């Protein structure tokens, strides 16, 4: 029987475990240095849209949204909130760049509807975009509550026989010649036929133990959840680039508000002992974010703010995910750099990692995401630089 070790019990690691178990792959062990979901997954907004920037991204998200709908039935306690779809909002300045992608969506049969400001207001009276704004509505999009999804996924993979070991830190990848043979934790060495890195913001220090790297940068990101809204209303999650953030309905008739900090430089995670809990909670960002959203969502000014989650987003040098086998070694796969959309991608990325691990290939051509697309020298050079999020790629969910 083959053994698969997955490093990281966030949504990517859990989804990989789920698909491996579904494919009857063998013994599956997930090693997690903290508690399940302890990385970015429990901090996510959970918003999903399929209307991305590249052919592979759009195709992968079609698969992901199909799986979210399926999991919504399969996993007790989890609901994919697709009732209102997902709205992507554009100012006249931002629209032309997105408009160029419409032929791609048409060719790939990714459904969408362009809505004028008056149509948006008529459909969702809580929303009040300026009259020259446009919405690109994605009927397959939606959102998940990360806590629900993590709990339900964990219960599912455990019922499938997956071993999840929490509070176990992988210190080193073990290599014999051109094969990765397992991992060393603080307590022991474990052998595996395939090791899968699903450790997102921590991927660089672990790859460094076998002399490898990928051009990845991490940025701090935060979102807030409000007190209950006075009116129970229905509106979709909105990716609102003109306001540098996003909103969505949240459990308990609340509002979730996420805001980017474009001028903050990337944060270098260079040790496995790094913890997101050490990030300061930037409550001072709430008031300016509320000000930015006040015209679009007039009800926002009446709310108080109950919780904050702050974590890291991981971006690659070309803005697209890094997924698949590492060049030059056997037995090592990775999935990281999902920008601000790793929650949204997870059911598809877990599927592709499980397919790579069991058959060496994937049901969708995801070669555009391969780690081998980056030259070693450009990776080395990229990692020595420091950039702000605004100098990286504009990607939202
Ligand atoms: C505030 C915020 C809002 C976001 N909103 C959205 C959104 O609306 N939609 C969306 O799609 N995405 C969103 N994201 C991005 C999303 O959260 C991430 O892309 C996604 O959670 C990545 O999942 P993951 O499983 O790959 O990584 P993680 O959830 O970070 O999991 C990696 C795990 O690996 C573990 N680990 C690391 N190193 C080791 C080691 N050496 N040994 C053992 N375990 C290890 C970590 O403890 C961690 O639990 C948001 C992120 C943030 C911070």
Q: Mean per-residue pLDDT for 102-126?
A: 98
Positive or negative CA dihedral for 211, 12, 274, 386?
positive
For residue 335, give every residue at least 6 positions away whose Cβ sits within 8 Å of its Cβ, in sequence order, or none. 12, 16, 196, 197, 198, 321, 322, 323, 324, 349, 350, 352, 353
User: Ligand 1 centre from 8 Cα, in Å?
Assistant: 9
Residue 276 and residue 40 in contact, taking contact as beta carbons nearer than 8 Å: yes
**Residue 173: CB within 6 Å of ligand 1?**
no
pLDDT of residue 232 exceeding 90, the answer is no
List pLDDT tens digits, range 371-394: 999 999 999 999 999 998 888 777
Give the residue-averaged pLDDT of 169-184: 98
- CB–CB of 103/112 below 8 Å? no
Residue range 138-155: mean pLDDT, rounded: 98
Provide mean pLDDT across the span 219-246: 92
For residue 205 and ligand 1, the question of a CB distance below 6 A is answered with: no
220 lines ligand 1 (CB under 6 A): no
Question: Does pLDDT of 71 surpass 90?
Answer: yes
Q: What is the CA radius of gyration of the chain?
A: 20
Residue 163: φ, ψ to 5°: -90, 125
pLDDT for the residue 395? 75
Q: Are 315 and 392 in contact, with CB atoms under 8 Å apart?
A: yes
Point out which residues pair with 31 in neighbouring strands.
7, 165
At residue 365, the 3 state secondary structure works out as coil
Q: What is the mean pLDDT of residues 85-110?
A: 98
- Whether residue 243 contacts residue 254, with contact meaning beta carbons closer than 8 Å, is answered with no
> What's the angle, vertex CA 44, arms to CA 39 and CA 48, rounded to 5?
130
C-beta atoms surrounding 252 within 10 Å: 11
Task: Return the H-helix or E-strand segment holding 391.
Answer: none
Mean pLDDT of 234-259: 96
- Encoding tokens for residue 296? 């679009």
pTM above 0.85, yes or no: yes
Cβ neighbourhood burial of 219 (10 Å; 0-12, 13-18, 19+): buried
Q: Residue 104's pLDDT band (boundaries 50, 70, 90)?
A: very high
User: Residue 390: what pLDDT?
Assistant: 82
Res. 213 pLDDT band, cuts 50 70 90:
very high
For a mutational test of ligand 1's pocket, the pick from 5, 9, 10, 276, i.e. the residue with the most ligand atoms closer than 8 A to its C-beta, is: 10
117 alpha-carbon distance from chain centroid: 29
Specify the DSSP element, H or E, that contains 216: strand 216-226
N- to C-terminal Cα distance for the chain?
38
Decide whether any atom of ligand 1 lies within 6 Å of the 217 Cβ.
no
Top mutation candidate among 6, 30, 44 for ligand 1, by most atoms within 8 Å of CB: 44
Domains of the chain from N-terminus onward: 3-391 (3.50.50.60)
């Amino acid at each position: 029987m083959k053994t698969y070790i997955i490093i990281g019990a966030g949504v990517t690691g859990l989804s990989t475990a789920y698909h491996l178990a579904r494919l009857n792959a063998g013994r599956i062990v997930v090693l997690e240095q903290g508690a399940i979901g302890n990385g970015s997954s429990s901090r996510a907004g959970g918003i999903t849209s399929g209307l991305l920037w590249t052919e592979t991204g759009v195709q992968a998200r079609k698969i992901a949204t199909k799986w979210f709908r399926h999991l919504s039935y399969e996993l007790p306690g989890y609901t994919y909130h697709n009732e209102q779809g997902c709205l992507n909002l554009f100012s006249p300045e931002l629209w032309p760049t997105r408009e160029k992608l419409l032929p791609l969506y048409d060719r790939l049969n990714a459904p969408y509807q362009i809505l004028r400001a008056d149509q948006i207001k008529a459909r969702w009276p809580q929303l009040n975009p300026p009259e020259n704004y446009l919405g690109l509505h994605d009927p397959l999009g939606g959102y998940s509550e990360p806590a629900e999804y993590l709990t339900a996924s964990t219960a599912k993979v455990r019922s499938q026989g997956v071993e999840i070991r929490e509070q176990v830190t992988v210190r080193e990848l073990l290599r014999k010649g051109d094969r990765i043979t397992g991992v060393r934790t603080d307590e022991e060495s474990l052998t595996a036929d395939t090791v899968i890195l699903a450790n997102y913001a921590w991927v660089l220090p672990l790859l460094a133990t076998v002399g490898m790297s990928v051009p990845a940068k991490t940025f701090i990101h935060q979102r807030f959840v409000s007190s209950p809204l006075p009116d129970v209303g229905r509106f979709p999650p909105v990716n609102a680039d003109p306001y540098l953030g996003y909103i969505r309905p949240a459990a308990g008739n609340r509002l979730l508000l996420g805001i980017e900090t474009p001028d903050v430089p990337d944060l270098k995670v260079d040790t496995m002992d790094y913890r997101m809990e050490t990030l300061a909670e930037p409550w001072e960002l709430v008031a300016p974010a509320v000000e930015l959203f006040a015209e679009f969502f007039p009800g926002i000014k009446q709310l108080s703010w109950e919780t904050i989650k702050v974590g890291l987003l991981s971006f690659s040098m070309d803005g697209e995910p890094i997924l698949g086998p590492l060049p030059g070694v056997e037995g090592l796969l990775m999935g990281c750099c999902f920008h601000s959309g790793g929650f949204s991608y997870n059911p598809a990325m877990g599927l592709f990692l499980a397919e790579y691990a069991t058959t060496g290939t994937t049901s969708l051509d995801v070669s555009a995401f391969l780690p081998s697309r980056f030259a070693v020298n450009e990776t080395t050079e990229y990692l020595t630089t420091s950039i702000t999020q605004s100098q990286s790629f504009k990607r939202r969910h």
